[in-house]
Amino acid sequence: MQQNQTSNKISGFHHLAICTGDIKGQIDFFTDKLGMELQSMYWMHGVPDTWHAFLRLNDESSLTFVSNPQIKQIPMEMGHTHSGNPGANSAAGTMQHVALKVDSYDALLDMRDRLRTKGVPVLGPMDHGMCFSIYFAGLENLSLELAYSAEALDQDMWIDTEVTELAGISPEELEKYKKPPEFKGQRGSVPQPELDKAAGPHMTNYPPGVYEKSMQIPDEIVLNMVESDPPGVSK
């Protein structure tokens, strides 16, 4: 397994997983309306009766949809499970909207043309200074955005101290957030913390006792607990 010997920093999304009650509809929307390729689709490892589909963003990142028969029965509620638009609220911890990137302003306009040609209303482009954005709806009340940035964000220009003060962030904390302290990894030798003493947060919504038992499984056992061969190998 290839490892980066120089950095343990996050380098981007590997995949963003969204639940759906209509996985075929979501695949059709993102392939037809946005031109994203279906990259993989298979049973979700270790999760009964659940499958997922990966739609290609680039060689290292995907937008993923997770589906099973129970998801369709969960009610949607605007302002709680979904925001419905990029200016509205949803519950804490939920996705308010998702913005996907394009590589140029012309590409942004071309994507607007593609969406409008296929009957999707689009708002924008809107110039935010740090990016240009277009906004539109996806299936199942997803709130979607496409954005283009001409250059990297400048922290000194784009962190508003009025807003950081409202968030309760002190000047000292702000400096720490802008440049987190370096951490030297130990190549996976740090043991699992004791759950009853761990600061957390903890994963939730498991049946009673399952999370506690799962966290006690040795790391070397977890590594090979699920099927890892591509489904096409056995076809």
List pLDDT tens digits, range 145-177: 999 999 999 999 999 999 999 999 999 999 999
pTM, two decimal places: 0.91
Average pLDDT, the chain: 94
Confidence of residue 20 (pLDDT cuts 50, 70, 90): very high
**CATH fold of 14-74, please?**
2,3-Dihydroxybiphenyl 1,2-Dioxygenase; domain 1 (3.10.180)
| HSE-CB of 112 using CA atoms within 13 angstroms | 17
Question: Residue 89: CB partners within 8 Å, gap ≥ 6?
Answer: 79, 83, 96
Class of domain 96-150: alpha beta
pLDDT tens for 80-96 read 999 999 999 999 999 99
- Per-domain residue ranges of the chain: 14-74, 96-150
Question: Secondary structure of the chain: what % helix, strand, coil (to 5)?
Answer: 25, 20, 55
* Residues 6 or more apart in contact with residue 147 via CB below 8 angstroms: 99, 100, 101, 102, 108, 131, 132, 133, 134
Cα 43 to Cα 174, 186, 224, distances in angstroms: 43, 33, 16
